[in-house]
Amino acid sequence: MNLKTDVLQHPASIAIIGMSGRFPGAPDISTFWQNLIAGKDTITRFNPADSKTPGASSPDFVAARGVLEDVGLFDADFFNIVPREAERMDPQHRLFLEACSNALEDAGYVSHNYPGEIGLFAGCAMNTYLLANLCKDRAFIDEFTSNYQVGEFQTLTGNDKDFLTTRVAYKLDLRGPVVTVQSACATSLVAICQAAQSLLNFQCDMALAGGASITFPQLRGHIPQEGGLASTDGVCRPFDANAAGTVFGHGVGVILLKRLEDAVRDGDRIAAVIRGFAINNDGAQKAGYMAPGVNGQARVIAAAQAMAGVTADTISYVEAHGTGTPLGDPIEFVALTQAFRETTDRAGFCTIGAAKGNVGHLDAAAGVTGVIKTVLSMQNKTLPGLAHFSAPNPEINLGGSPFVFSSETKEWEANGPRRAGVSAFGVGGVNAHIVLEEAPALPAAAPARTEQPMCLSARSPKALQTAIANLATHLEANPTLNLSDVAFTLATGRRAFQHRFAFAADNMPSVVAQLCEAAQHSSFEQSSDARVAFLFSGQGAQFVGMGKALYESQAVYREAFEECADVARAEFAFELCDLIFAEPNEFSAARLQATRYAQPALFATEFALAKLWQSWGITPETFAGHSLGEYVAAALCGVMSARDAMRLVCLEN
């Protein structure tokens, strides 16, 4: 295989195979990407009178925040959570659970059916839902504190950071290492590093990683302080001369990771590859506890590049921490330059960007947001412009450095595979950095059949109708998708619920048309608990041409059929293919009625068809047959080999 990169041979390569998130102004990552390339700032600026926070009447109050829509909505029934428990659960926990489920679905995996172990590493922001919404009166507080270990423990588990990940593990049946990670603003990127390390240590087979940050009330601003983090005008301008601080916001992001070699083996859709990662701390080598440190940041970037086995001149983009503070941005720039200069003297080849200019600082979810943005940029070969950038901070020495800034969206050009760095630095000194590379070019799998079965299911008829309509919209907007891939994901990468709808089609327009028609219905099949049995007929069901289309299109069917045909050919001197697939006429029909030919032909057809069904995941609980059908059942049950069973069928005739 002629690939542009050595990433398949790199021992530390981790594949990103699924992503999910909700960001200010974007209910999903697709909308998030559209906002980025349009250069949108999705921070909400509101009337100070709408804020219930102290200080809102101050003339210095800045009414700006990255707000999430519909954070109160949650499908508790889908996750088998009772309403009382759901209403007492921190929305960070609720939305993070949804995001984890969506990330697995994005990758095409059902965690409940996955044979390996799935891990989870994540963290969230401080819980203000308990304080702002639940502790609404003294009676509740007294009840909560007095029954802390008994009656109100359920409220505790729904609100404390410690239980963010373990609830997801219980609801999604994750059996790998499940760890809550807390590293301030670096939380979600540290979680990604920890998940990658767990995979490299073979502690799990896949791992979810990310973070959530949703605090209340959402519509709250701030009163900026000199030298502080908060923006003086409600705009975040990373690395800009007019930078005056950051704007905080809310968001949730999750990615699903897998060892690259396993992802390639399993035919996963690989979004990007993590080649290297590193975590460290500034220690005391900085001006103060809250201050960023040049040396710590430089060391973590250089360490990640060293693990990746790449030189800095192959990295053409850096998604920076980029808080937009007059002090923090120059320090980050110096650290980046110091790290890059360890392996290259080139100038002006690497673009710096930061999502905070678009969505604000998402705290515990900031790192994973930067990763998702960078992966989307790689997939689209496009670099979104740096929002609100006009000229670099005067403390930044851009001339002769490896870096450039651009406020315009542009094509991502690179000599060789596209590579990027992503940074996240937590208040207190935690530094994390990863090196990403675009997904390797892998050959597409050939379709296994001409017509593809499309299978959809949901918990209710209304939910199924919505799912059908959503799929029709998606396929209509993406007509070049591989139809067999779509069918495979629907069949194996989605949980099977009670209300179901299925059909077969051989082209995308036909699929879309049938989906659009079905979306108008409100009545669908409801599954039962009926078990599957394979029943095999005796002589009399044969006809000329039976199984011909399957023989020509299905490799599994053809292989099983040929195993039987080899016996007939070697020991009984007749060709099953010539017999069964002959031109239909009176002679061929009469010949196939002769017992000497009919029974071997039926045995081969029934055996091959059963093998094909089994390869599609249809697992019978019992086999039964009549006459020669008993031999087919015996062969499939392992009572005898298919060759011996075929030999007996032929000998009896």
Residues marked as catalytic: 185, 321, 361, 627
Q: Name the β-bridge partners of 207.
A: 119, 257
Contact partners, residue 543, CB within 8 Å, separation at least 6: 589, 592
**Cβ within 8 Å of residue 567, ≥6 positions away:** 643, 646, 647, 650
Distance between CA atoms of 186 and 279, rounded to whole angstroms?
A: 10
* Region for residue 402 given its phi and psi (left: phi exceeds 0; alpha: psi -120 to 50; beta: otherwise): alpha
**What b/e readout covers 161-196, taking b as 16+ CB neighbours within 10 angstroms?**
bebbbebbbebbebebbbbbbbbbbbbbbbbbbbbb
Burial 399-408 (b: 16+ CB within 10 A, else e): eebbbebeee
Joined together, the tokens standing for residue 275 give 């080649």
Measure CA 516 to chain center.
Answer: 27
- Which structure tokens are listed for 419? 């590579």
Length of the chain measured in residues: 653
Q: Are 345 and 375 in contact (CB under 8 A)?
A: no
The interaxial angle of helices 91-107 and 164-172, nearest 10 deg, is 40
- Helix ranges (H only) for 159-219 are 164-172, 187-200
CA separation for the pair 324, 241 (Å, rounded)? 9
Euclidean distance between CA atoms 70 and 306, whole angstroms: 43
Cβ burial of 535 (10 Å; 0-12, 13-18, 19+) is middle
Which is it for the CA torsion 81, 84, 90, 95, positive or negative?
positive
Indicate the SS3 state at residue 26.
strand
Q: First CA to last CA across the chain, in angstroms?
A: 50
> Would you call 199 exposed, middle or buried from its count of C-beta atoms within 10 A (0-12, 13-18, 19+)?
buried
Residue given tokens 């070697």 in the structure block: 570
**361: which DSSP letter?**
B
Amino acid identity at 458: A
- Rg, the chain, Cα only: 30
The rounded distance, in Å, linking the Cα atoms of 309 and 326 is 33
Extract the tokens encoding 573: 């001197």
Q: Please say whether the dihedral angle defined by the alpha carbons of residues 621, 625, 628 and 634, taken in this order, is positive or negative.
A: positive
Do residues 329 and 352 lie in contact, with contact meaning Cβ atoms separated by under 8 Å?
no
Helices and strands per DSSP (H, E), number in the chain = 23, 20
Distances (CA, A) of 289 to 281, 365, 490: 11, 22, 51
**Which string of b and e fits 292-316 if b means at least 16 CB within 10 Å?**
bbbbbbbbbbbbbbebbbbebebbb
**What whole-number distance in Å separates Cα of residue 72 and Cα of residue 178?**
26
